[in-house]
Amino acid sequence: MLNNEMQFDLLIVDDDPRWKDIITTSVDDIYSYDISGCYEETTQKLKDNSYKIICMDLKILRKGSSSIANGRKLLLFLRKNFPDLPIILISGFIIGNPNIYIEEYPNIKKILIKGESDDFMEHLEKSLIEIYSSIQDKKAIEGKSENNGKFD
């Protein structure tokens, strides 16, 4: 870790202030988080800090314009540079079968559709718990193999 690098549980990427508020309200008492509103800010934060999970919208700002193409560019950046960083894709702009995104971007672990249900926050909290648990399980397994199955 770099000297000035900060560690967070989540990076929330959304350019819509209303949805940023909804997401941060869901996680505020449980997880440490950082917020980004555009492609450029997100890539810089990823270079400067450490995150366990990304919650991102598919339609984000890049160079002043908001589009789904910008979200796909960020997904490509994440796939190439942070292939083990889990993503929860949160969007109102999923066209077609959502599983296509999971196949194309393997670090997407869950897709939540904005406005699809009244219990969005509950779905987000459950998704975060599942992914966070799998991260902890993976670390335990890796630690066990590094210690040849012996713990102090």
All domains of the chain in start order, with CATH: 7-146 (3.40.50.2300)
Tell me, what's the pLDDT at 116? 66
Q: Work out the pLDDT band at 150, boundaries 50, 70, 90.
A: very low
Would you say 120 and 114 are in contact if contact means Cβ atoms under 8 Å apart? yes
Tell me, what's the pLDDT at 93? 75
Per residue in 118-144, pLDDT (tens digit) is: 788 888 888 988 998 888 777 666 665
**Predicted confidence (pLDDT) at residue 39 exceeds the cutoff of 80:** yes
Q: Which residue shows structure tokens 């670390």?
A: 139
Per residue in 51-64, pLDDT (tens digit) is: 999 999 998 888 88
The count of other CB atoms within 10 Å of the CB of residue 112 is 20
- DSSP type of residue 1: -
